[in-house]
């Protein structure tokens, strides 16, 4: 039969499409991973030997049962044939690294047969806070927050655009170090245009900001006073904006524009029973954005017992350090990614702003923060009230006169 040139063209094009589709499928990350794993099994002679018909040797290799790709890694699961010693896989970890690259982790499930393997596409190691490179990353922002490094570079955002921040994670995961580095960067970048208030109910962290922040308090009554002051200030700013007919303090004339205010609270869970304070904090979260009043709240677990739904919803930016389990991780970021952070990865977080990404926060020691903050000492702070800290309107008026 003679094939016409049109038919030939159609046949070749159909064949071409098939080949292209096959090539596309073959290069999907999960297919690449499946092939690489099978390659490891063959190169490493990782199979279970059986005797078949007439004593012929049969090889049963591990079977790849699933591959998933995430923002920063590929995860695969494979199952060993019954009878195969799992230590042959663990002893061949070097071969997995040789074939798949560094950043490979293997873990055996309780059934003694199923291995899960993670392959990180890049490793973001811990790094020390470097004031110069942080300053370079924060240029041209009004209220800059330095988050850290992702695989694609420095991560930072402007708090004026994304107002309220929630930092969560299990004990020792890096929350307080993150607070220290965020506030230190803010003070150094914004200077006198920032009024910073710190509440440190664990009394372990914020002493480094004494004399630099407007006020540092370590008890509930001190925080209550600050919250009342901020509520008054918000009313005042609202009146000002109303008189000038603007919708954001940034639109006020320069001579009337008040400074940005940041209230940072470490260990918010200790305020669980302080309804008045929490109501005030919630009010800030609801109306603070346009008035230039912002929140940074840190706690281990932002469950409903600590944060009420409305306040939590207003904390739109999230830094989720290691969480103890998937349920807690979902409470913070809506996915279980933060539970997959390893215990040894201090300062590693899932950062949620527009989507989620893994970020490594900078390590800023207390001593280094002290040195960086030294030039700013006593520039912003108001004198501490020298008598009792119980709350009354008189206290507030006195403070404002100071
Ligand atoms: N970004 C980081 N890089 C390297 N190491 C870090 C980092 N952040 C924290 N660490 C290490 O982890 C330790 C605990 O961190 P941090 O005090 O911030 O934990 P935390 O989450 O505030 O814990 P807790 O809830 O108990 O207060 C630090 O002393 C430091 O050694
Ligand atoms: Mg802490």
What single DSSP character describes residue 2?
P
pLDDT 10s digits, 329-368 = 999 998 888 998 889 899 999 999 988 888 999 999 999 9
Contact 244, 237 (CB under 8 A): no
Highest mean pLDDT among 68-72, 98-102, 253-257, 374-378: 253-257
Distance between Cα 12 and ligand 2 center (Å): 66
> By alpha-carbon position, which residue is closest to atom 14 of ligand 1?
172
Nearest to 220 by CA among 287, 261, 272: 272
Residues 95, 98, 104: CA angle, nearest 5 degrees: 80
**Closest listed ligand to the CA of 171:** 1
pLDDT band (50, 70, 90) for residue 120: confident
Task: State in Å: Cα 322 to ligand 2 middle.
Answer: 13
- Beta bridge partners, 115, equal 78, 108
Q: What is the model's pLDDT at position 390?
A: 38
**What DSSP designation does 270 have?**
G
Q: Nearest bound ligand to CA 206?
A: 2
The mean pLDDT value for 180-192 works out to 94
Q: Say whether pLDDT at 13 is over 90.
A: no
CA–centroid distance, residue 345 to ligand 1 (Å): 10
Are 189 and 135 in contact by the 8 Å Cβ rule? The answer is yes
Q: Using 50, 70 and 90 to split pLDDT, how confident is the model at 12?
A: low
> 324: buried, middle or exposed (CB in 10 Å: 19+, 13-18, 0-12)?
middle
Please report, for residues 8, 14, 301, 322, the alpha-carbon distance to residue 19 in angstroms, rounded to integers and kept in the order given.
Answer: 16, 9, 51, 44
pLDDT of residue 313: 94
What gap in Å lies between CA 271 and CA 192, rounded to an integer?
29
Residue to mutate (ligand 1; options 346, 349, 364; most atoms within 8 A of CB): 346
pLDDT(4) > 70 = no
Q: How confident is the model at residue 22 (pLDDT cuts 50, 70, 90)?
A: low
Q: Assess whether pLDDT exceeds 60 at residue 223.
A: yes
Ligand 1 nearest-atom number relative to CA 202: 27
C-alpha 133/C-alpha 326 separation (Å) is 34
**What average pLDDT does the segment 202-226 reach?**
92
Domain boundaries, the chain: 27-120, 131-401
Distance CA(271)–CA(29), nearest Å, equals: 47
What pLDDT score was predicted for residue 10? 67
371 Cα–ligand 2 center, Å: 21
Centroid of ligand 2 to alpha carbon of 271 (angstroms): 15
Between residues 342 and 317, the one the model is more confident about: 317
Rank 187-196, 285-294, 377-386 by mean pLDDT and report only the highest.
285-294
Q: Tell me the longest C-alpha to C-alpha distance in the chain.
A: 106
Classify residue 50 as left (phi > 0), alpha (psi -120 to 50) or beta. beta
CA 309–ligand 2 middle distance (angstroms): 23
Locate 280 and state its tokens.
């005030």
Specify the CATH number of the domain 27-120: 3.30.980
Pocket test for ligand 1, best of 174, 204, 299, 324 (most atoms within 8 A of CB): 174
Please give the pLDDT value at position 380.
55
Alpha carbon 193 to its chain centroid, in Å, reads 27
Burial class (CB within 10 angstroms; exposed 0-12, middle 13-18, buried 19+) of 154: middle
For ligand 1, what atom is nearest to the CA of residue 300? 25
Q: In the prediction, which pLDDT does 401 show?
A: 33
- The ligand that comes nearest to the alpha carbon of residue 180 is 1
- Torsion, Cα 188 194 199 202, to 10 degrees, reads -10
pLDDT classification of 153: cutoffs 50, 70, 90: confident
379 or 85: which carries more pLDDT confidence? 85
Token couple for 297: 């709240």
**Mean pLDDT over the full length of the chain:** 87
pLDDT band at 69 (very low <50, low <70, confident <90, very high): confident
For residue 385, the model assigns a pLDDT of 37
Pick the range with the lowest mean pLDDT from 1-15, 129-143, 171-185.
Answer: 1-15
Q: Identify the nearest ligand to the CA of 265 by its number.
A: 2
Q: What is the domain class of 131-401 according to CATH?
A: alpha beta
Q: How far is the CA of 344 from the centre of ligand 1 (A)?
A: 11
What is the percent of the chain with per-residue pLDDT over 90, rounded to a whole number? 64
Ligand 2: distance of its center to the CA of 176 in Å?
A: 4
Residue 357 has a CB neighbour count (10 Å cut-off) of 18
> Which of 127, 128, 173 for mutating ligand 1's site (highest number of atoms within 8 Å of CB)?
173
Which residue, 350, 362, 316, 333, is CA-closest to 71?
350
Work out the percent of the chain whose per-residue pLDDT is above 70. Answer: 87
Residue from 146, 297, 347 to probe ligand 1 pocket by mutation (most atoms less than 8 Å from CB): 347
> 318 near 330, Cβ under 8 Å?
no
Asked if the model's pLDDT at residue 291 lies above 60, the reply is yes
Helices 220-244 and 393-401, axial angle in degrees (round to 10):
70
Distance set, CA 370 to CA 180, 210, 365, 375 (Å): 10, 10, 9, 10
Instruction: For residue 2, name the pLDDT band (cuts at 50, 70, 90).
Output: low
Asked if residue 6 has pLDDT above 70, the reply is no
Output the ligand 1 site: residues, CB below 6 A: 126, 169, 171-177, 300, 346-347, 361-363
Query: To test the ligand 1 pocket, which listed residue (126, 169, 171, 176) has its Cβ within 8 A of the most ligand atoms?
Result: 176
Closest-CA residue, ligand 1 atom 25, reads 171
């Amino acid at each position: 039969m003679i094939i016409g040139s049109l038919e030939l063209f159609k046949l070749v094009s159909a064949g071409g499409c098939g080949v292209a589709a096959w090539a596309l499928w073959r290069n999907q990350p999960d297919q690449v991973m499946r092939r690489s794993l099978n390659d490891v099994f063959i190169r490493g002679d990782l199979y279970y030997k059986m005797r078949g018909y007439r004593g012929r040797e049969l090889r049963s290799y591990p079977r790849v049962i699933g591959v998933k790709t995430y923002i920063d890694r590929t995860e695969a699961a494979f199952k060993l044939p019954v009878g195969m010693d799992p230590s042959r896989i663990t002893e061949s970890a070097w071969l997995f690294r040789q074939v798949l690259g560094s950043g490979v982790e293997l873990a055996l499930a309780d059934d003694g047969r199923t291995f899960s393997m993670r392959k990180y596409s890049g490793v973001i190691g811990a790094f020390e806070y470097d004031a110069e490179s942080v300053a370079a990353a924060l240029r041209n922002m009004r209220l800059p927050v330095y988050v850290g490094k992702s695989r694609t570079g420095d991560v930072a955002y402007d708090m004026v655009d994304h107002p309220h921040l929630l930092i969560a994670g299990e004990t020792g995961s890096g929350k307080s170090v993150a607070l220290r580095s965020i506030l230190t960067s803010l003070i150094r970048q914004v200077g006198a245009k920032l009024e910073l208030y710190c509440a440190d109910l664990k009394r372990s962290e914020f002493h480094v900001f004494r004399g630099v922040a407007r006020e540092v308090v370590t008890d509930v009554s001190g925080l209550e006073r600050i919250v009342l002051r901020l509520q008054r200030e918000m009313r005042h700013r609202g009146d000002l904006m109303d008189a000038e007919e603007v919708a954001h303090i940034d639109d006020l004339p320069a001579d009337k524009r008040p400074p940005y205010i940041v209230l940072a609270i470490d260990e918010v869970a200790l305020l669980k029973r302080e309804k008045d304070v929490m109501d005030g904090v919630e009010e800030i979260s609801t109306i603070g954005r346009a008035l230039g009043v912002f929140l940074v709240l840190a706690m281990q677990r932002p469950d409903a017992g600590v944060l009420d739904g409305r306040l939590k919803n207003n904390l739109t930016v999230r830094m989720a350090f290691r969480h103890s389990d998937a349920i807690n991780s979902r409470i913070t970021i809506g996915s279980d990614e933060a539970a997959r952070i390893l215990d040894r990865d201090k300062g590693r977080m899932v950062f949620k702003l527009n989507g989620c990404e893994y970020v490594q926060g900078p390590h800023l020691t207390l001593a280094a923060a002290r040195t960086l903050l030294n030039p700013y000492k006593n520039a912003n702070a108001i004198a501490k009230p020298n008598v009792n800290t119980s709350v009354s309107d008189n206290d507030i008026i006195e403070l404002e006169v100071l």
